[in-house]
C-alpha cells in the first residue's frame, strides 16, 4: 500500500513510452524515437529496456494503475528479502521484532523512491544478492548458480548492475586480505581458503560475460554508470562534437536527486538508520563482520555524494544492522528472553511510530494522476492534433512522450545537445537566452513548469510592466491552457495561430507569484473561472481566482474558493493560506488571519512572506492599542512584530514610539536607528531622525 502514491513519477512515463515503442516496433530503433534534437544520431537499446517493457505490460494488464501495483509488489518482495536476511534464521519473536527496527527505517527511507521505475527491480536484486552472498559464507552454494543469472537479468532491467558486482568485489578484497592475516575476532575471514574466493569470482565473471554476450545491450550497463559518475564528478566529459548529447551537464544542474545529500536527509529515516547501524557495529564489535562494515561504509559514502543512492544504501544497511543488534542483545547476560522480546518490541514500535510521523508533503496516496503532471496541456494538444515542434521543461518530457506519442524537445534522461543546455535549463522565462534556442528550432508550442525566481530576479520582474507574464514573452506566445502541472503556450504567428487567438488567456498569468498584485482582477476572474471549468481539480486555478476575488473586495467568495486550493502542491497551499488570512482580515477576524499565517510559516520552505504579513498584523494591533490608550498593549504588539520580522521598518518605528512613551530613551533610540537603517527614505524617516536626536 505504501507504494500506491499516485502516478507522480516523471520518469515512469518515459519508461511506459519506451516499453510501448519496443513492443510496437518488435525491436530497437536505430535513432532515438523520442527527442527530435537527437535526430540523425545513432541510438540503440537502453540499458533498462526490459524494465521499461515490464512497466508497460503492467499498464496493459491492469490499466493506468498497473505500474503502481507492480511497484507495490516489488516493495513487498524487497521487504521479505530484507527480513529474511536480517533474521538470518532466527524466527523467535525477539529476533523478528529486532529485525523490524532497521528494516522499518530502510523502508521509510526507500518510500520516496518506491515508484514504477526499473530501479525497483534492481533494488530487489541487490537485496537478493546480499542474501545469497551471506548464505554462501554459511556454506550454501546457491549463490554460485544464481548470481550469474541475477547479473544477466539485472543488466537488462537497470544500469545499476555494477552495485551487484561491487558487493562481491568488496567480499573478495576484504577476505583476500584477511585470509593470511586474520587470526582472531573481529578480523576472522568469512571463508576457509583461497578456493572459496575463486568460486564467487568465477561466478561474477560468468555473470558479466553472460550479461554482455547474451543481451541486446552488451556491456553498456557496466560502462554507463562509470561514464555517469565521471560526468557528475566533473572528472571528464563525453568525447564528440559540441552538439553531442550532454546529459551530465543538464542532470547535474537540474536534478535534485543527483545532488549531495542535504543535511535534512540525515535527520530523517536514512540518517536514523546510519546512526543505528554505526551503534550496532560498536556494541557488537567483537562479533562484527569486517566485510559488512566496509560494504556499509562504501554505500553510505555513495549516498552522501548523491541523494538518489540513499535508498540503495538503506537496503544494504538494514539486514546487517538487524544481525548486529540481535547478536548484541543475545550476547548480553543482563537480559533474559522476555526482557529481550520486550525491548525489541518497544524498538520496533518506536520505528513504526517514527515511520508514521515522517512527512512526505508532495506525496498523496491513490492510483490517479498527480497534480504535478501537465494533464491539461497534454489534453489540449491531443484535441488540437498537434504535429509541430514542442519545447518542454525536461522532466515533463516523459509524460508528453507517453500521452502525445510523438517526439519532444527533452525528457528526464537529460540528453540535450551541449550547446542547448543553458537555454534548456532556463526555459522561456529567460527571454533573452531562450530567443536563440527558438531561432534554432522554431517551436510551435511550449509546455513548461512554473518558474522559480531568486530575490534579484523577483525584484526586477516586479518592477516590469503591469500585467506581464513571467513564464514566457506574451508578444510571441499565447497562454492557452494551464493546471497544477504546468502551462501551455502557442506561438502567435505559427501554424496554430487561430487556436492561439481563440483560446488565449489575456489576463490570467499563473506564472506570476501571487505576492504580486493582479493587474486586471475583473478580467482575470472571468478567465480563471474558465480555467476551473476546464480543469475542475486545479488548485493553482483556485488560488489565482481567490486572489482575484480578494482584489475585487469579495472576501467571502474568496474564502470559499481558496479552501479548495489547500489540496494543491505545497507552494499552492502556502499561497492559499496567505489568501485565507487576507480574507479573514478583510472580514475583521484578525485571530483567524494570524492562525492562517502561522500555518503558512510552518509549511512553506521560504516563510518570509507569511512572516512579513504576520508582523504587519502585529503592527496594526499595536497602532490600534495606541489609539485606544493602551500603551502596554501597544508596546507588546510592536515588540512582537519586530521579533516576528526584524526586516519590517514599521515594527521598529512603532516600537520606538512605544518605548519612548514608556520612558525607555535608550531602547527607543535603538529602535529609531534600526528603522532608519532599514528605511532611510521611509515615510517616517524624518520623525525617526528627530527621535534619535531628541533622545541622545
* Residue 361: burial class (beta carbons within 10 Å; 0-12, 13-18, 19+): exposed
Tell me what pLDDT residue 305 has.
84
Give the H/E segment covering residue 289. none
- Are the C-beta atoms of 579 and 609 separated by less than 8 Å? no
Q: Are strands 445-448 and 486-491 parallel, antiparallel or unpaired?
A: antiparallel
Structure-block grid coordinates of residue 331: 550476547
How big is the CA angle at 180 (ends 177 and 185), to the nearest 5 degrees? 80
Q: What pLDDT is attached to residue 240?
A: 44
Q: Which three cell numbers stand for residue 30?
A: 536505430
For Cα atoms 153, 318, 308, give the angle at the middle one, nearest 5 degrees: 60
Residues 6+ apart with CB under 8 A from 256: 307
Please list, residue by residue across 430-453, b when 16 or more beta carbons sit within 10 angstroms of its beta carbon and e when fewer do. eeeebeebbeeeebbbbbbbbbee
- pTM for this predicted structure: 0.87
Beta strands of 79-137 (E only): which ranges?
none
Strands 366-369 and 445-448: what pairing?
unpaired
Q: Say how far apart CA 663 and CA 677 lie, in whole Å.
A: 23
Q: How many CA atoms lie within 13 A of 466 on its CB side?
A: 5
Residues of the chain where predicted confidence (pLDDT) is lower than 50: 233, 235-242, 357, 359
The alpha carbon dihedral of 301, 302, 307, 311 has a sign of: negative
Q: Where are the domains of the chain?
A: 5-9+16-234+246-357, 371-513, 617-696
Count Cβ atoms below 10 Å from residue 478 Cβ, excluding itself. 25
Beta-carbon count within 10 A of 476 CB:
18
Pairing of strands 486-491, 477-483: antiparallel
pLDDT of 219: 87
- Count CB neighbours of 378 within 10 A: 23
Considering Cα of 280, then 307, then 264, then 107, what sign does the dihedral take?
negative
Distance of CA 113 to the CA centre of its chain: 9
The pLDDT value recorded for residue 242 is: 46
Q: Which cell numbers hold the place of 267? A: 535527520
First to last CA, the chain: 69
Which position has the grid cell 537540474? Answer: 254
Residue with cell 497534454: 378
C-alpha angle with apex 495: 491 to 500, nearest 5 degrees? 45
Give the integer Cα–Cα distance in Å for 125 and 151: 9
Q: Cα–Cα distance between 653 and 674 in angstroms, integer? A: 8
Which set of grid coordinates corresponds to residue 362?
A: 508532495
| pLDDT, position 348 | 65
Helix (H) or strand (E) holding 448: strand 445-448
Task: Decide: helix, strand or coil at residue 369.
Answer: strand
The string of DSSP codes covering 35-73 is BGGGTTSB----TTHHHHHHHHHHHHHHGGGHHHHHHHH
327 in Cβ contact with 284 (< 8 Å): yes
**Helix 290-305 and helix 310-330, axial crossing angle in degrees, nearest 10:** 150
Eight-state DSSP code of residue 479: E
> How far apart (Å, rounded) are the C-alpha atoms in residues 368 and 370?
6
In terms of DSSP H, where are the helices of 360-426? 375-384, 397-404, 421-426
Contacts of 107 (CB under 8 A, 6+ apart): 2, 75, 78, 79, 82, 355
> What angle separates helix 195-213 from helix 142-157, to the nearest 10 degrees?
30
Burial 197-206 (b: 16+ CB within 10 A, else e): beebeebbeb
According to CATH, what is the number of the domain 617-696? 1.25.40.10
2 C-beta neighbours (distance < 10 Å), count: 17
Q: How far apart are CA 447 and CA 414, in angstroms?
A: 16
The closest of 263, 308, 302, 298 to 9, measured between CA atoms, is: 308
How does strand 366-369 pair with strand 5-7? parallel
In degrees and rounded to multiples of 5, residue 245 shows phi and psi of -60, 130
Distance between CA 290 and CA 305 in Å, rounded? 23
606 within 8 A of 594, measured Cβ to Cβ: no
19 with 53: CB under 8 angstroms?
yes
Residue 65 has what pLDDT? Answer: 92
Residue 44's pLDDT is what? 85
Cα angle 209-213-217, degrees, rounded to a multiple of 5: 110
pLDDT of residue 366: 72
Question: Measuring CA to CA, which residue among 312, 308, 295 is closest to residue 232?
Answer: 308
Tell me whether residue 183 is exposed, middle or buried, using C-beta atoms within 10 angstroms of its C-beta: 0 to 12, 13 to 18, 19 or more: exposed
pLDDT of residue 331: 58
Amino acid at each position: 500500500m505504501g507504494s500506491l502514491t499516485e502516478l507522480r513519477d516523471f520518469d515512469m512515463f518515459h519508461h511506459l513510452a519506451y516499453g510501448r515503442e519496443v513492443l510496437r516496433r518488435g525491436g530497437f530503433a536505430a535513432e532515438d524515437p523520442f527527442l527530435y534534437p537527437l535526430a540523425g544520431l545513432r541510438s540503440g537499446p537502453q540499458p533498462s529496456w526490459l524494465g521499461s517493457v515490464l512497466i508497460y505490460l503492467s499498464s496493459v494488464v491492469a490499466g493506468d494503475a498497473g505500474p503502481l501495483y507492480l511497484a507495490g509488489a516489488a516493495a513487498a518482495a524487497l521487504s521479505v528479502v530484507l527480513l529474511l536476511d536480517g533474521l538470518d534464521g532466527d524466527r523467535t519473536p525477539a529476533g523478528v521484532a529486532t529485525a523490524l527496527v532497521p528494516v522499518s527505517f530502510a523502508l521509510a527511507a526507500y518510500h520516496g523512491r518506491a515508484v514504477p521505475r526499473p530501479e525497483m527491480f534492481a533494488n530487489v536484486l541487490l537485496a537478493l544478492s546480499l542474501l545469497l552472498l551471506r548464505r554462501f559464507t554459511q556454506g550454501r552454494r546457491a549463490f554460485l548458480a544464481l548470481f550469474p543469472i541475477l547479473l544477466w537479468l539485472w543488466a537488462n532491467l537497470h544500469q545499476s548492475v555494477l552495485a551487484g558486482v561491487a558487493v562481491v568485489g568488496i567480499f573478495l578484497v576484504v577476505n583476500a586480505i584477511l585470509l593470511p592475516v586474520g587470526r582472531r575476532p573481529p578480523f576472522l575471514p568469512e571463508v576457509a581458503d583461497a578456493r572459496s574466493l575463486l568460486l564467487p569470482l568465477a561466478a561474477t565473471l560468468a555473470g558479466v560475460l553472460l550479461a554482455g554476450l547474451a543481451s541486446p545491450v552488451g556491456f553498456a550497463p557496466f560502462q554507463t554508470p562509470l561514464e555517469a559518475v565521471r560526468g557528475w564528478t566533473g572528472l571528464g566529459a563525453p568525447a564528440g562534437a559540441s552538439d553531442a548529447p550532454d546529459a551530465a551537464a543538464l542532470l547535474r544542474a537540474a536534478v535534485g536527486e543527483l545532488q549531495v545529500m542535504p543535511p535534512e536527509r540525515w535527520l530523517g529515516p536514512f540518517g536514523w538508520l546510519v546512526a543505528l547501524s554505526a551503534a550496532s557495529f560498536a556494541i557488537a564489535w567483537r562479533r562484527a563482520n569486517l566485510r559488512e562494515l566496509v560494504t556499509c561504509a562504501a554505500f553510505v559514502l555513495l549516498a552522501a555524494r548523491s541523494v538518489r543512492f540513499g535508498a540503495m544504501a538503506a537496503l544494504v544497511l538494514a539486514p546487517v544492522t538487524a544481525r548486529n543488534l540481535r547478536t548484541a542483545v543475545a550476547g548480553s547476560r543482563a537480559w533474559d528472553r522476555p526482557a529481550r522480546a520486550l525491548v525489541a518490541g518497544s524498538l520496533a514500535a518506536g520505528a513504526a511510530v517514527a515511520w508514521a510521523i515522517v512527512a512526505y508533503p508532495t506525496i498523496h496516496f491513490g492510483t490517479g494522476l498527480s497534480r504535478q503532471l501537465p494533464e491539461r496541456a497534454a489534453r489540449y494538444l491531443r484535441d488540437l492534433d498537434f504535429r509541430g515542434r514542442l519545447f518542454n521543461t525536461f522532466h515533463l518530457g516523459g509524460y508528453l512522450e507517453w500521452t502525445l506519442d510523438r517526439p519532444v524537445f527533452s525528457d528526464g534522461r537529460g540528453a540535450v545537445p551541449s550547446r542547448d543546455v543553458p537555454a534548456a535549463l532556463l526555459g522561456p522565462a529567460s527571454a533573452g537566452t531562450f530567443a536563440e534556442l527558438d531561432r534554432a528550432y522554431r517551436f510551435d508550442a511550449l509546455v513548461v513548469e512554473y518558474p522559480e525566481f531568486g530575490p534579484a530576479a523577483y525584484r526586477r520582474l516586479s518592477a516590469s510592466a503591469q500585467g506581464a507574464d513571467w513564464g514566457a514573452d506574451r508578444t510571441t506566445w499565447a497562454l492557452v491552457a494551464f493546471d497544477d502541472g504546468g502551462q501551455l503556450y502557442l506561438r502567435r504567428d505559427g501554424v496554430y495561430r487561430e487556436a492561439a487567438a481563440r483560446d488565449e488567456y489575456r489576463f490570467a498569468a499563473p506564472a506570476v507569484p501571487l505576492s504580486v498584485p493582479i493587474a486586471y482582477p475583473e478580467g482575470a476572474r472571468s478567465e480563471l473561472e474558465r480555467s476551473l471549468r476546464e480543469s475542475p481539480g486545479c488548485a493553482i486555478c483556485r488560488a489565482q481566482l481567490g486572489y482575484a476575488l480578494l482584489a475585487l473586495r469579495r472576501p467571502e467568495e474568496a474564502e470559499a474558493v481558496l479552501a479548495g486550493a489547500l489540496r494543491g502542491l505545497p507552494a499552492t497551499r502556502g499561497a492559499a493560506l496567505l489568501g485565507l488570512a487576507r480574507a479573514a482580515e478583510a472580514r475583521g477576524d484578525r485571530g483567524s488571519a494570524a492562525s492562517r499565517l502561522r500555518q503558512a510559516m510552518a509549511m512553506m520552505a521560504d516563510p518570509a512572506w507569511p512572516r512579513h504579513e504576520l508582523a504587519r498584523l502585529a503592527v496594526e494591533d499595536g497602532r490600534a492599542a495606541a489609539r485606544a490608550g493602551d500603551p502596554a498593549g501597544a508596546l507588546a504588539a510592536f515588540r512582537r512584530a519586530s521579533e516576528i520580522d526584524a526586516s519590517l521598518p514599521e515594527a521598529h518605528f512603532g516600537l520606538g514610539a512605544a518605548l519612548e512613551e514608556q520612558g525607555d530613551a535608550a531602547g527607543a533610540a535603538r529602535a529609531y536607528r534600526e528603522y532608519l537603517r532599514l528605511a532611510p527614505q521611509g515615510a517616517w524617516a524624518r520623525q525617526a531622525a528627530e527621535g534619535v536626536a531628541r533622545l541622545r
